[in-house]
Chains A and B, each alone.
Chain A
Amino acid sequence: MRRIRFILREAMRALVRSGLAGWLAILSLAAVAGFCSSVWGARQALEAAREGLLARFELEAFVRPGRESKLHELGEWMRAREGVTEVIEVNKAMAAERFSERYGSEMFDLLDHNPLPVSLIVKYDPKVVNVKWITLEAQVLQDHPDIEEVAYEGELLSKLEDLGARLSMGLLIVVAVIAGIAVFLTFQSVRVAIRSGLAWARAVRLVGGTEGQVRQPFVTAGILAGLIGGILGAGLVGAVQLLLAQSGAVPIPQPVALAAVLVLTMLIGALGSAAAIGRRSHGRMTS
């Protein structure tokens, strides 16, 4: 316990000694935390929007002419399939009604019979719908001997997925760049702290301190910078998100996400300081 207290106290002093470099490291780590929290929030909002759109997604399977009597049997078969939330059996009369609603009833006045096929309208759980899955599902239906054709808005799905993937990749690149900058700045700040702490390190060694007692405060300084930066960045974005969530614009921030961001910034801080110490090990830091 005393050793932990010693390391924490010396880490705080090392952070203070690093001055402007330390503040820059904290700010860059705050930027990482803020950006990661924003990305998380944006992803949540995007996911909610995607689910909203997909809730309206439907697939229509047209029954082969002459097999109209199989409609209910096919409906039951569809209801038993994974991810299906609703199946509407559209008989000839309903098909005509739907057609008339969209295009008017003139066609039926001209024809003496109803040429429209019977069909099944299938709705799916938004959580399971994606392009790959729906393509496979459509293929299974298409291969059924009683089904003539399958129709769905594949383009909408593709666009949504493409947008999601591009957004994720773009954000990931930006997070990686900011994280790289944060590692560099933490590395620099710990280097400054080490340089200004050489007399301290020498004194600790002369009075019988271990290498761990000399090095751990500097690593801990990086972790502390990550923690402070993480709390600043994630806290600020979390507060804004909480305010926006009250109006329903974005989902409520998740504590797990905030904790993950803090762990990430602390890891970045540790990485930067470990790099600085590793570099210093070849120089004057070791006696």
Chain B
Amino acid sequence: MIELIRVTKQYSKGGIKDVSLRVGKGEWVNIVGRSGAGKTTLLRMVYAELLPDIGEVIVGDYRLSSMRERDIPAMRRQLGIVDQDLALIQDRTVYENVMLVGEVVGWTRRHSKAEALKVLNRVGLYRHLDSYPSQLSFGEQRRLAIARALVGEPRALVADEPLGSLDLETAQGILELLSSIHARGTALLMTTHQPELFEEYPVRTVRIDRGQLVGEQ
């Protein structure tokens, strides 16, 4: 589903070096490592927000090296993306934030609405349809970002620190949500600081340090 082949991306401070990683269909892969280890860089290359200096990134049928820039949106539609900063639209309600996907893709209003309500129900935000992101707790904001990423049933969910800055109870709730998403056959690729929280889940953990993969569990 997602494959990185000998990918290198260098910045003045850090980046990643010669990273190869494969996430199979329905697989759950966590990338763990310290801050600045290169987790976010790696993830952003998967959805082509960053382009590798060397190497190849494959997402479904798309190969980043031979892909035209105008194909990037279509490639991203195969993924559900949860960014570290969540990228929620603050002046729109929970419902409107999720409806955005259908509007962008060009679905009918009826179809967009059905999809939005379905995912909001799945993530447990059905009762907050008219709330604005600022009125939600951190955990609920994560759920909203996940809900938006799930619209259209993507084949893989890519999430950057979905449990970051959450208390244990809230993090457990998000984990259960992610587990239920995985149980439906969606591949998960995510970064985390807290690998210990995933011990009970069928997760392959990949460790990254100073831009290089250093181990796998």
B66-101 contact mask (Cβ, 8 Å, vs A): 1 or 0: 000010011011000101000111110000010011
CB < 8 Å: which of A2, A199, A203, A210 contacts B73?
Answer: A210
Whether A208 lies near B104 (C-beta < 8 A) is yes
> How many interface contacts (CB-CB < 8 Å) are there between A and B?
59
Give the contacts of A167-226 with B (CB-CB under 8 A). 199-200, 202-211, 213
* Cβ–Cβ < 8 Å partners of A56 in chain B: none
Interface size on A, residues (CB 8 A): 20
Known: A208-B74, A209-B73, A287-B49. A203 touches B88 (CB 8 A): yes
A3 at the interface (CB under 8 A from B): yes
Whether B104 lies near A207 (C-beta < 8 A) is yes
CB distance from B160 to the nearest CB of A (A): 11
CB distance from B169 to the nearest CB of A (A): 28
Interface size on B, residues (CB 8 A): 26
Whether A17 lies near B91 (C-beta < 8 A) is yes
A287 CA / B91 CA spacing, docked (Å): 22
A108 at the interface (CB under 8 A from B): no
A23 CA / B49 CA spacing, docked (Å): 35
Q: A interface, by DSSP: helix, strand, loop or mixed?
A: helix
Known: A206-B81, A207-B151, A213-B104. A200 touches B73 (CB 8 A): no
A271-287 contact mask (Cβ, 8 Å, vs B): 1 or 0: 00000000000000001
Whether A205 lies near B76 (C-beta < 8 A) is yes
A146-167 contact mask (Cβ, 8 Å, vs B): 1 or 0: 0000000000000000000000
- Which partner residue on chain B sits nearest A204 by CB separation? B104
CB distance from A204 to the nearest CB of B (A): 6
* Cβ–Cβ < 8 Å partners of B106 in chain A: 2-3, 6
Give the contacts of A54-93 with B (CB-CB under 8 A). none
- Which partner residue on chain A sits nearest B47 by CB separation? A206
CB distance from A82 to the nearest CB of B (A): 60
B130 at the interface (CB under 8 A from A): no
* Cβ–Cβ < 8 Å partners of B76 in chain A: 205-208
* Cβ–Cβ < 8 Å partners of B107 in chain A: 2
List 18 extra interface pairs beyond A206-B87, A207-B101, CB under 8 A. Answer: A6-B106, A9-B103, A199-B87, A199-B89, A199-B90, A203-B88, A203-B97, A205-B73, A206-B47, A206-B83, A207-B76, A207-B149, A208-B104, A209-B104, A210-B73, A211-B70, A213-B104, A287-B49
3 smallest beta-carbon distances between A and B, as pairs: A208-B77, A209-B104, A208-B76
A interface, CB within 8 angstroms of B: 2-3, 6, 9, 13, 17, 199-200, 202-211, 213, 287
